[in-house]
Every structure is written in C-alpha cells, then in structure tokens.
Amino acid sequence: MGKAVRRYRGTTAVLAALTITATLSGCGAGAADGVTLKLVAADYGSTDANTSEKYWNDLARAYEKKTPGVKIDVTVLSWKDVDREVAGMVERGEAPDLAQIGAYADYAHEGKLYPVDTLVSVPTQANFLPMLRQAGEVDRVQYGLPFGASTRMLFFNEELFDKAGAAPPADWDGLRTAARKLEAKGVKFPFALPLGSEESQAETMMWLLGGGGGYRDTTGTAYQIDSPANVQTMTWLKEELVGEGLTGPVAPGDLDRQQAFDAFVRGEVGMLNGHPTLMETAEKAGVKVGTVPLPGVNGKAKATLGVADWMMAFKENGHRKEIGEFLDFVYTDKNVLEFSDRYDLLPVTVTASTAMEADPEHAALRPFLEELAGSELYPVGETSWAKVSESVKKNIGRAVAPDGNPRAVLGEIARDARAAEASASAR
C-alpha cells in the first residue's frame, strides 16, 4: 500500500554481507572431453539490447572457461515459438540436452526427462523454494527445475486515486467503490479486466482465489471449475464490475493482458492485477504506482497467483553428469540473481530470495517475495492443464458478457477439464 519504492540494480554488497556461497557439484573438476550440451531457452527480453541470448552466452562462456572439455551450444527463441520448436525437436528425435520453457509435464509423463535428484547436487535441489520444488513434481518425483518466478498484486495509479478521492481496496466492496469513484472522474479503465485470449487463465485464477475457490479442489486432486464459489465469483464480476461499466470501453473478453498493461503505462487505468515487470515499466513512464495484496470477497484473497517457468533435462543424448554439473552452476546465487535482476523476476532459490529481500535496493520487490511464499501455481504437473488453460482462454470472456451465463460457461470449461483428465489417464 502507498508508493512503490524505486529500486536499482545490484546485489553484490548484500551477497558479500551474507557470505552466501554456492555449491558446485564438480564444476571445476572437468568432464568428459568433447561433450557439447545443447540448450534451448526462452527470450525474456523485449529488444535486441536486453535479449536473453546475451545472458546465456555470457554464462555459457564462463562455464566453459571453468570446465575444459564441455561446450554449451545456446539457442534462444521467442516465447511465441520456443515451446513449439522444442516439441518439434523432441518429435524428430533431436531433443536438446536442456530446455528452459513453459511446461515440462508431458515430457515427464512420457519418460523423456531426467529426475532432478539424478542431476544436481543435494544442496542445489534443496535450495529451491519449497512450493516451486513441489510444483515441479510429477507423481512426487521432481522433473521440472523452476527458472524465474513471479507473483501478482493489485496495482493502482496513485495520482488517479488521489484525484478521485479513492482508497486502495482491501476487499471486493472496496474495489467496486474505488472503481465507481474513478469512473465518475472520467478514468478510461477504472479496473482493467483482461479476459481475452492472451493470458486470461491467469486473470481468472486470481479472481477465483479471491472468491475462495480456484481451479482445483482443496486436495489438489481434481478440477472444481464450476464450483458454487467460482460461479459466484464470475457472477459478481459480470454484475458488479462489468455490468456497471467499471471495466472500460473494451469488453473484457476482447482485452488482452498486454493491452491492459500498455494502458496502465499510459495512465489510462485506475487499477489492475500486475506483476513486478509492469511496476518498473510504469514507473519509468512516470506513473506513480501503488500496490496492495489482491482483494478478496471478504478481505485479502486467500492466495495470489504464483507463476514459474521451467528448466528440464532430456535423456536422449545421455549427458546426465555434464548436465547436472552445468545446472549446479546455473543455480548459483550470482547467476540466479543476475537473471532475476535483468528481467524483474523473483528468484527461485531460498538463498537468492533471502539476498534480494535483505537488499534495500530491492525494497519494492519485498511485497512480491512475501506473497510468493503463500501463492498458488497452476497445476503444471498435470498433463491435462494445457487443454484446460486453452479452454479458459477461449471461453471465459463470455461469462461476463452482457448476455453471458457464468454458470454455463464454467460448466463448459469443467467438461473440457474432465475430458482432458480422462485423455491423460488413458495414456
């Protein structure tokens, strides 16, 4: 709540003060001569100047210098292409040794990945944040190594709030009240609600958690998409926000996340659900950003959305030892923090998170770090999730349309989820 604290690059002083040391599993001892590890990674950069290719090439050259006889062949692809390209490589029998992409579960279920405990040292595996380590498991075996994390908070434009006499919301009633005041002052998007095809599975999950529900039941064993709590949540959105004209001139089903973020950076949005990268971008554009935990129906939401991308190691080329030693190097604090710093992400390891939290230059990220510990991730360990996510993106916008029926739309998505689960279990 209140003004976001500006932050600057650098964690060297804190690392020195904490005397955090990295555990390298044999990195300096060398490996079999002539081994080349092929790495395919996603590009987190927005321009040629900040492409992830530079990060990976610098890291690869540093590792090669430390480990004679091992070469790292780096390919960096855009997020639009990387998952499809890796899938094609695997299908052709040309799997990379390492892939840093969005999902691992299908490959794990097909027996194509090394279990993490056969790759990295015990200190490296134990250093992953517990909830992220667990999210990387299939049938209680970890196959996905988290790589870059993020979480969400409610962002508000402090200048627009001041002009409207609005207070940062602590629950849905407060959110609606603030949106009404913003709308009365002519704010274009009092609350930006992106339920378009780009990433509406994320926006939807945040609202479902705020209403006491979610995609999965409390045991995490089954989908509960059309539960009474979820129906009530989508009905509230349809009637109390969208129906009152508080979500702006673009129908939520036609509004993609990037459109909403761009509008926030332009100063046209009073409130939206955002992540750390947006905060820095908006502040650079002159927007005074305030943040509060995601509001829920009766106070703070039970959890916020946590997101992680994944590193995985394929068995196909048989370089288990060399892959594991390289991953121990990748997950040292220095490298984790450098990547997190560069792309405004949250570290995925305990020691790097501790260093970032203690660093006053990262004060603005402390609320996100605190929220991450209690966040809820997508059910990425389920092979059914990809199809469920697509169904949400395709259909959820209709639930809040003027002629929409939240119960019916959620029922459609629930049927798709059951079919996806049945298909997965039949494999």
Contact status, residue 381 vs residue 137, Cβ threshold 8 Å: yes
Cα–Cα distance between 385 and 140 in angstroms, integer?
A: 17
For the chain, the first-to-last Cα distance in angstroms comes to 48
| DSSP element (H, E) containing 77 | strand 70-77
Over 60: is that where the pLDDT of 21 sits? Answer: no
Is 187 part of a structural domain of the chain?
A: yes
Name the burial class of residue 8, with classes exposed (0-12), middle (13-18) and buried (19+) by CB atoms within 10 angstroms of its CB.
exposed
Residues 28 and 114 in one domain: yes
Phi and psi for 288 in degrees, rounded to 5?
A: -85, 110
Q: What is the pLDDT of residue 221?
A: 78
Residues 35 and 122 in one domain: yes
Is 8 part of a structural domain of the chain?
A: no
Please indicate whether residue 13 or residue 357 has the higher confidence score (pLDDT): 357
pLDDT digits (tens, 9 = 90+) for 292-322: 999 999 999 989 999 999 999 999 999 999 9
Residue 125 belongs to domain spanning:
23-150+307-377
Is 16 part of a structural domain of the chain?
A: no
Number of domains in the chain: 2
Cα–Cα distance between 296 and 299 in angstroms, integer?
A: 5
Is 18 part of a structural domain of the chain?
A: no
Cα–Cα distance between 312 and 96 in angstroms, integer?
A: 10
Cα–Cα distance between 352 and 207 in angstroms, integer?
A: 30
Residues 269 and 367 in one domain: no
Mean pLDDT across the chain: 90
Q: 294: which DSSP letter? A: P
pLDDT digits (tens, 9 = 90+) for 124-167: 999 999 999 999 999 999 999 999 999 999 999 999 999 999 99
**Final residue belonging to a domain, choices 338, 357, 377:** 377
Mean pLDDT of 44-57: 88
Residues 203 and 340 in one domain: no
Residues 185 and 158 in one domain: yes
Contact status, residue 360 vs residue 367, Cβ threshold 8 Å: no
Cα–Cα distance between 203 and 360 in angstroms, integer?
A: 30
Residues 255 and 185 in one domain: yes
Percent pLDDT > 90 in the chain is 80
Q: What is the pLDDT of residue 419?
A: 94
Over 60: is that where the pLDDT of 389 sits? Answer: yes
pLDDT digits (tens, 9 = 90+) for 9-19: 334 333 333 33
Residue whose tokens read 């490589």: 89
**Torsion angle of the four alpha carbons 409, 411, 414, 418, in this order, in degrees rounded to the nearest 10:** -130
pLDDT digits (tens, 9 = 90+) for 178-218: 999 999 999 999 999 999 988 899 999 999 999 999 999 88
Cα–Cα distance between 133 and 141 in angstroms, integer?
A: 10
Q: Which residues contact 412 (CB under 8 A, 6 or more apart)?
A: 391, 395
Q: What is the pLDDT of residue 33?
A: 59
3-class SS at 172?
helix
Contact status, residue 44 vs residue 276, Cβ threshold 8 Å: no
- Tokens of residue 401, six digits: 């349309």
Q: What is the pLDDT of residue 1?
A: 40
Is 138 part of a structural domain of the chain?
A: yes
Is 15 part of a structural domain of the chain?
A: no
Q: What is the pLDDT of residue 18?
A: 37
- Tokens of residue 131, six digits: 């909830």
- Tokens of residue 346, six digits: 């949250």
Is 17 part of a structural domain of the chain?
A: no
Contact status, residue 145 vs residue 356, Cβ threshold 8 Å: no
